[in-house]
Chain A
Amino acid sequence: MRVHATVIMLGVFFTAVGCYPEQINSISQLASVTTLVDSQAPLRNARTFALPDTIVHITAGAGVIGHEGDKQLVARVRAELVALGWREITDVRAERPDVVVLMAVTEQTNTGVAYGGWWSDWGWWPGWPVTYGTDWAWGYPANAVTFTYETGTLLITMLDVQHGNESTKRVPLIWAAGVNGVLTSTSLEGALNGIDQAFTQSPYLERK
């Protein structure tokens, strides 16, 4: 009877702890878009922007994201701002914009180790050991398998060029967006979608 009761309790507990929500099964689930804002008067009053056509690439990785996508990324940011009612100033010498929008891409190579030294950990399985005992270990090539993946962030920053601090020589950052994720050959599409999302979740940029 006691054994029976203990087995029932174990079953209940294992069922309970087994009810975890589904884990990550797609790299799209690792993508995120974060926006930060200083929504005081300089942002509320800003109506004009300048947008250089260059994206700075800060790459410490394999270079999955190249400059070939820069035009599309810049064009998407420009289109979003114009659609929100902002006016672009292309000749900044003739007219000073309220804000300058600068873009950058950072890329990192992430390395990890899938440690493979847990052959003996399967000793609880009734079918174990499979031919060899639990005192054996994994052989060649190694007990560890290394892997790498590229992650990157597209940064969009909006700088208030009307209210620079003369004493500290700082240009106020009034809005920023980061599109973050694992980089693949289809990452440009993800970055473009991320730009759309950054403006969608920033309704205070509407100027119409």
Chain B
Amino acid sequence: MRASFILVVAVAVSSTPLRAQDRYLTAAEYSVAIPLGDTHRFDASGSWSGANWEGRWMGWPYMSVGTLVGFNEFYDRKSGTFDFPGGAATGDQYRHLLVIPALVTGARYFTANSDDPRWYIGGGAGIQYTQQSFQLGLQEKHRGNWGIVLVPEIGLAFAAWYGTGGIVSLRYHLPTESGSFLASGQRRFQYISLSAGFGYR
């Protein structure tokens, strides 16, 4: 929670432009996410807590390159009994997954005029820190792991008023597998995020 708070403040503050310039688009995005695969198995509830900071250099008519730093959180508290191989447990459970990707991104736009809304396809690659927490009653366990992540995306970049603009993006987060998470076996915490951001260009 504290880490998320600090990151959100950093995202919002850093979206303040040093100077407006049409070749750059800097946006702070709010992000929601749907869990897939191992993420869904760990916590089936969606993520309403997420944010990104994204910067794009629009140096070409149809292309841009940039960076993205953000996070999505999946968390759920529920009571009940759940089975696991070799037993069962009953109690108040809290599951939390925090994913923090840092990406180098690229996008290909379908039109050239950056003053018009432009659809694009693109993607990013980079590193990702994932922290998994599980609490049952008094027992609490945490695991953190660094990995590589690929994030293909489709979206819409648009210009608004007074040198502002924004990005709406649908991203698929595909990290590498790791055996460093809770319980045995390899885990790959995938999800689809929908982000909408506003910023300056």
A residues adjacent to B (C-beta < 8 A): 1-2, 5-6, 8-10, 12-14, 16-17, 19-22, 24, 29-38, 151, 180-182, 197, 201-202
- Report whether A180 and B12 are in contact in the complex, using a CB–CB cutoff of 8 Å: no
Q: Which residues of B contact A34 (CB under 8 A)?
A: 87-90, 136
**Which B residues, 12 to 31, have Cβ-Cβ distances below 8 Å to chain A?**
12, 15-17, 28, 30
Shortest CB distance B81–A (Å): 5
Contact of B137 with A by CB under 8 A:
yes
Contact of B91 with A by CB under 8 A:
yes
Q: Which residues of A contact B94 (CB under 8 A)?
A: 21
Shortest CB distance B62–A (Å): 28
**Which B residues, 42 to 72, have Cβ-Cβ distances below 8 Å to chain A?**
48-51
- Report whether B1 and A13 are in contact in the complex, using a CB–CB cutoff of 8 Å: no
Shortest CB distance A34–B (Å): 4
Closest A residue by C-beta to B87: A36
Q: Which residues of B contact A36 (CB under 8 A)?
A: 86-87
- Report whether A201 and B16 are in contact in the complex, using a CB–CB cutoff of 8 Å: no
Q: CA of A7 to CA of B44 in the docked complex: distance in angstroms?
A: 32
- Report whether B48 and A32 are in contact in the complex, using a CB–CB cutoff of 8 Å: no
Q: Which residues of B contact A6 (CB under 8 A)?
A: 12, 15-16
A-B pairs with beta carbons under 8 Å apart, 12 shown: A10-B12, A12-B30, A13-B28, A17-B8, A29-B91, A29-B137, A30-B92, A31-B91, A32-B137, A32-B138, A33-B90, A181-B138
Q: Which residues of A contact B136 (CB under 8 A)?
A: 32, 34
- Report whether A35 and B88 are in contact in the complex, using a CB–CB cutoff of 8 Å: yes
Selected from B17, B90, B161, the residue in CB contact (under 8 A) with A197 is B90
- Report whether A180 and B139 are in contact in the complex, using a CB–CB cutoff of 8 Å: yes
Contact of B176 with A by CB under 8 A:
no
Q: Which residues of B contact A37 (CB under 8 A)?
A: 86-87
Shortest CB distance A19–B (Å): 5
- Report whether B50 and A9 are in contact in the complex, using a CB–CB cutoff of 8 Å: no
Closest B residue by C-beta to A198: B90
The verdict on A151 contacting B51 (CB below 8 Å), with A30-B92, A31-B91 known, is no
Selected from B48, B89, B162, B200, the residue in CB contact (under 8 A) with A19 is B48
Q: Which residues of A contact B16 (CB under 8 A)?
A: 2, 6
Q: Which residues of A contact B89 (CB under 8 A)?
A: 32-35
Q: CA of A149 to CA of B22 in the docked complex: distance in angstroms?
A: 60
- Report whether B139 and A13 are in contact in the complex, using a CB–CB cutoff of 8 Å: no
